[in-house]
């Protein structure tokens, strides 16, 4: 899950398993040092014993000082991830330091970045774990993982966006194109 510091808007990837069954945890933002609370959304799915279920648009983090601020939308639940049976998916790097490289998408969720990722790019403007490609049948989504320079589709920064055949997106100084071909 992605959590957001309400004070400075820094985004962090947070492993839900770290809740260890608790309904919430307090985190310190490494950028601005604010302490904020992160709600375990899986605990809400367990039932009403832990309190009200948050609406789908409610933020999953809030400051410990309880200041009222507009809530940022939480990522929506994704459909079951699975590669399509009759199509091959690839990513072509069409601009940037790795221009000309092709990557075959071999699993339903691949992480793009510089280090400890499924698809590594040699681009200093790309975060270590910058974005993910999530495939649910014929639905392909690019998801920003709280990167420093953001993920862009066209000129628009996105947290999540649907991709179609020959859709382009930019991470760091690299532009990639999704290519869908029959298998």
**According to the model, what pLDDT value does residue 42 have?**
62
- 18: buried, middle or exposed (CB in 10 Å: 19+, 13-18, 0-12)? exposed
**According to the model, what pLDDT value does residue 131 have?**
97
Whose tokens are 């009759």? That residue is 86
Q: What is the pTM of this model?
A: 0.59
Question: How far is Cα 45 from Cα 53, in angstroms, rounded to an integer?
Answer: 7
Instruction: Answer for the pair 112, 118: CB distance below 8 angstroms, yes or no.
Output: yes
Q: pLDDT for 7-35, tens place per residue?
A: 778 777 777 777 777 777 777 777 777 77
Given a cut of 50, is residue 143 above it in pLDDT?
yes
Instruction: Answer for the pair 54, 76: CB distance below 8 angstroms, yes or no.
Output: no
Q: pLDDT for 54-112, tens place per residue?
A: 433 333 333 333 333 344 444 445 568 999 999 999 999 999 999 999 999 999 999 99
Instruction: Answer for the pair 5, 36: CB distance below 8 angstroms, yes or no.
Output: yes
């Amino acid at each position: 899950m992605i959590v957001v510091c309400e004070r400075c808007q820094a985004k962090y990837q947070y492993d839900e398993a770290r809740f260890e069954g608790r309904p919430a945890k307090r985190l310190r933002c490494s950028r601005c040092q604010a302490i904020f609370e992160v709600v375990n959304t899986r605990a809400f799915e367990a039932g009403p014993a832990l309190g009200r279920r948050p609406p789908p648009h409610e933020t999953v983090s809030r400051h410990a000082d309880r200041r009222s601020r507009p809530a940022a939308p939480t990522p929506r639940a994704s459909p079951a991830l699975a590669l399509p049976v009759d199509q091959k998916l690839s990513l072509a790097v069409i601009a940037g330091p790795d221009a000309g490289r092709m990557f075959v998408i071999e699993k339903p969720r691949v992480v793009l970045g510089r280090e400890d990722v499924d698809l590594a790019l040699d681009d200093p403007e790309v975060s270590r774990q910058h974005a993910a490609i999530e495939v649910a049948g014929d639905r392909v989504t690019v998801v920003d993982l709280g990167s420093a320079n953001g993920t862009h589709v066209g000129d628009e920064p996105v947290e999540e966006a649907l991709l179609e055949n020959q859709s382009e997106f930019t991470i760091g100084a690299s532009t990639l194109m999704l290519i869908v071909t029959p298998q």
